[in-house]
């Protein structure tokens, strides 16, 4: 972790309304938040602590060999019950971060502490299962987590059975409760994914993730495929669920208007590194890093004129 981005105030990422912000300096890439008074994993502490995370992908052979540092010394914390948004252009490393967090990918270096427990880089089966209870992921495309031949009810009860000792009538009752929580009717338990709209499918995917009763939801572009009115409904639903269940969200999105709606804090990623972090209002209203300004100025809004510089070096853009 780089000292130039460690806040002397103990960092900001993990605290809602922490009120401070850091821009990573030359060579800086990480953010750091302090443990709250409750300590890691405790109420008021950080439920996610990531430090020095690195991931390199190597593709091709010989002269076609290519290496990409998808994550380069990434550090951040997320406070219990808060929502941290992760933004950045395509290829900046957001999904790799999410996939490592939920165990779909192994990091090359660095540490992940989840609910106070360090996560092994190559965990055993029991550890993977324990992690899945703590942290669940919702993807952009619900078809990724829903089998087209399985009803919504069966998809949800599969996760229930994996993590909780419930069977028969109790499982059916829990499925109905979960469907209601995501704004669907109990009868939807009998629907196949193909019989549901995109928004309804994403609600089922959310109910399925909630069935584990996790502490953390990682949402990777979870509303990006929905049309705007459905998107607003699902975002409202996610906010209600977070409040009611005291969940923690890591919310990956490229859409800055979504960031404003859902998160208290935001980190901005570029080429595998964190370049800026802070409260959502500070970062979006008064961005300090040229790349954040570029992202903001590239977002469509009334009177917007496209900036054709995404992909150019941010320093160039600044100049
Ligand atoms: N399995 C893989 N093999 C090779 N390269 C990969 C792999 N996964 C990701 N990468 C590369 O790592 C970099 C980061 O990818 P990642 O998917 O994390 O970015 P992202 O910010 O989530 O992008 P997007 O918003 O388009 O999903 C990219 O350059 C990508 O091509």
- For the chain, 319 residues long, the average pLDDT of each consecutive 10-residue run is 28 33 44 36 77 96 93 96 95 95 93 91 82 90 84 94 87 95 95 94 94 95 88 92 95 92 95 96 94 86 51 39
Q: Is the CB of 90 under 6 A from ligand 1?
A: yes
Residue 218 CA, ligand 1 centroid: distance in Å: 17
Specify the residue for token string 């979006």: 284
Q: Look at residue 70 and tell me if it is in a domain.
A: yes
Structure tokens given for 99: 């996939």
| DSSP code, position 134 | H
Q: Look at residue 198 and tell me if it is in a domain.
A: no
Q: How many domains does the chain have?
A: 1
User: What does the pLDDT read at residue 127?
Assistant: 84
Q: Look at residue 66 and tell me if it is in a domain.
A: yes
Q: For residue 63, what are the contacts with CB-CB under 8 A and spacing of at least 6?
A: none
Q: Is the CB of 88 under 6 A from ligand 1?
A: yes
Q: Look at residue 241 and tell me if it is in a domain.
A: no
Q: For residue 68, what are the contacts with CB-CB under 8 A and spacing of at least 6?
A: 56, 57, 59, 272
Q: Look at residue 167 and tell me if it is in a domain.
A: no
Q: Is the CB of 218 under 6 A from ligand 1?
A: no
Report the predicted TM-score, pTM, of the whole model to 2 decimal places.
0.82
Q: Look at residue 21 and tell me if it is in a domain.
A: yes
Q: Look at residue 133 and tell me if it is in a domain.
A: no
Residue 18 CA, ligand 1 centroid: distance in Å: 31
| DSSP code, position 22 | E
User: What does the pLDDT read at residue 81?
Assistant: 95
Q: Look at residue 51 and tell me if it is in a domain.
A: yes
User: What does the pLDDT read at residue 8?
Assistant: 23
**Alpha-carbon distances, residue 242 vs 80, 88, 218, 247 (angstroms):** 11, 24, 12, 5
User: What does the pLDDT read at residue 195?
Assistant: 95
User: What does the pLDDT read at residue 143?
Assistant: 77
| DSSP code, position 41 | T
Q: Is the CB of 93 under 6 A from ligand 1?
A: yes
Q: Domain range holding 97? A: 1-115+266-319
């Amino acid at each position: 972790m780089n000292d130039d981005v460690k806040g002397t105030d103990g960092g900001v990422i993990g605290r809602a309304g922490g009120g401070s912000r850091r821009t990573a300096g030359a060579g800086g890439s990480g953010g750091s938040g302090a443990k709250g008074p409750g300590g890691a994993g405790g109420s008021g502490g950080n439920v996610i602590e990531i430090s020095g995370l690195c991931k390199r992908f190597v593709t091709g052979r010989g002269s076609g060999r290519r290496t990409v540092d998808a994550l380069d010394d990434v550090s951040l914390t997320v406070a219990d019950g808060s929502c941290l948004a992760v933004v950045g252009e395509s290829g900046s490393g957001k999904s790799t971060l999410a996939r490592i967090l939920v165990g779909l990918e192994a990091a090359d270096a660095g540490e992940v502490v989840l609910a106070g427990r360090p996560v092994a880089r190559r965990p055993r089966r029991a550890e993977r299962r324990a992690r899945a209870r703590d942290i669940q992921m919702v993807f952009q495309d619900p078809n990724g987590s829903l089998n087209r031949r399985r009803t919504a009810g069966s998809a949800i009860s599969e996760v229930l059975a994996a993590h909780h000792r419930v069977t028969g009538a109790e499982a059916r009752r829990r499925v109905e409760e979960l469907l209601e929580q995501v704004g669907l009717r109990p009868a939807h338990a009998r629907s196949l994914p193909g019989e549901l709209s995109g928004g309804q499918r994403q609600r089922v995917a959310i109910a399925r993730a909630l069935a584990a009763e996790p502490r953390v939801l990682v949402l990777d572009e979870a509303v990006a495929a929905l049309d705007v009115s459905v998107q607003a409904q699902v975002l409202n639903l996610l906010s209600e669920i977070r409040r009611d269940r005291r969940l923690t969200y890591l919310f990956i999105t490229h859409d800055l208007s979504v960031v404003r709606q859902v998160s208290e804090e935001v980190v901005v990623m570029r080429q595998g590194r964190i370049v800026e972090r802070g409260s959502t209002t500070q970062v979006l209203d008064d961005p300090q890093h040229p790349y954040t300004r570029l992202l903001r100025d590239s977002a469509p809004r009334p009177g917007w004129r496209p900036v054709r510089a995404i992909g150019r070096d941010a320093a160039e853009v600044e100049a």
